[in-house]
Amino acid sequence: MKKDTKIVHAGRDKKWTGQAVNPPVYHASTILFDTVKDLKFALKNFKNKIMFYGRRGTPTHFAFRDAMTELEGGHDCLVYPSGIAAVSAALLSFLRSGDHLLMVDTCYGPTRAFCNKMLKKMGIETTYYDPMIGDGIKDLIKDNTKVIFTESPGSITMEIQDIPAISKVAKKNDIILMIDNTYGNLVNFNPYDHGVDLSIQAATKYIVGHSDAMLGTITCTEKLWPQLQDYSYYMGQTAAPDDINLAMRGIRTIKTRIKQHENSALKVAKWLETRDEVDLILHPAFKDCPGHEIWKRDFNGSNGLFSFTLKQGSEKEISTFLDTLNLFKMGFSWGGFESLAMSFYDLKAERDLPLWDDYGPLIRLHIGLEDADDLIADLEKAFDAIK
């Protein structure tokens, strides 16, 4: 079946939905057992999708987990209260004191903070590697390397990683390959076709899609599943049924939304490319973007998120530019229906590798579902304000 069809039907098993189209929002802590026989059955089967105790999930959770597994791949899926909770659970489930982690230098900022503060304190060493390293990652592997963590495109600067090349090295050395696949959502990148063992989604972004809930997910291979499930449970990880319901609703329109985000972002980026003030278009579909050729080979398309750099611009000019924008709002996150603009990333301080010494000021945009011409007019007004 094609993706559009799967997106409509995923997770809608009658055992979760009953007679309705959608599963109910099922709130529960205590689950009641009618007989000792029922209790004993539950005690034997609590790791499967049955009602046992609220923290293990209800049919709302089970339907969403099924839908995510069907659409992203892997053996099964777990839910977490945020994307970063999913990142930390993935790392804590598979690393122990004395282990070594290879983390991409262009990872999401809070992922880096987790490695530098939490993992370090636990005696887990992190080496940051160049997102363009490809199979050169073999030279960074130590005897105690347990996990290689990827995120493609890179946070803010949008480098595309050669996941298949890294996967080959990981498999040969029996190392777990993880990806933060949030950009890839459920449409743009199929992680299990490219050799990853575990995939994380900040469902907060395109899966929820409406800027009104926080949620994280992890899918993984059958081999990793028992350990991920047990360790996530030890850490008390779960998520609220209302938020899962919003994510489930988001899934049904994700491909339609992504297509619109993609088309509008391409239109805006092409317009930016014609502006004298603009230097680089850091959008995977543009040749300025490091790894553009890999994106063409491995991805199914792009979405609303990209960055661009200006040839020059003082802090005051960038402030004027952002303050002049009206349709583009300023705020963290992305993946909702609304357009966002952000700048003032301290890339030199945030990264180990000196990738960003030579470039002008960077502005990141998320192109929402507004009309692209209106967004272009908004940007034009902002450029006029700093002329």
Ligand X SMILES: *Cc1c(COP(=O)(O)O)cnc(C)c1O
Catalytic residues, by residue number, are 55, 108, 180, 205
Q: How far is CA 273 from the centre of its chain?
A: 27
Beta carbons of 102 and 127 less than 8 angstroms apart: yes
Q: Does 368 bind ligand X (CB under 6 A)?
A: no
Of 52 and 201, CB closest to ligand X: 201
Taking CB atoms, the residue at the shortest distance from ligand X is 83
Site for ligand X in 187-226 (CB under 6 A): 202, 204-205, 214, 216
Scan residues 108-127 and list those touching ligand X (CB under 6 A). Answer: 108
Strand order in the sheet with 340-342: 278-282, 305-310, 362-366, 340-342, 329-330
CA–CA dist 352, 355 (Å, integer): 9
Rounded least distance, CB 14 to ligand X, Å: 31
Least CB distance to ligand X at residue 266 (A):
20
Q: Which of 69, 182, 245, 343 binds ligand X (CB under 6 A)?
A: 182
- Kindly compute the dihedral angle of the four CA atoms of residues 223, 229, 231, 236, in this order, to the nearest 10 degrees: 170
CA atoms of 309 and 363, how far apart (whole Å): 6
Taking CB under 6 A as the binding criterion, the range among 81-89, 258-266, 274-282, 368-376 that sits at the site for ligand X is 81-89
The angle that helices 59-72 and 241-252 make with each other, rounded to 10 degrees, is 40
- Residues near 56 by beta carbon (within 8 Å), at least 6 away in sequence: 46, 233, 238
Return the range that interacts with ligand X (CB under 6 A); candidates 80-88, 295-303, 320-328, 364-372: 80-88
Closer CB to ligand X, 112 or 146, in the complex: 112
83-94 helix and 225-234 helix, angle to the nearest 10 degrees: 110
Contact map string, positions 331 to 360, toward ligand X, x by CB under 6 A: --x---------------------------
- For residue 131, state whether it binds ligand X (rule: CB under 6 A): no
Report cis status (omega within 30 of 0) of the bond before 153: yes
Q: Does 180 bind ligand X (CB under 6 A)?
A: yes
Interface residue list for ligand X (CB under 6 A) = 82-84, 87, 108, 151, 155, 180, 182, 202, 204-205, 214, 216, 333
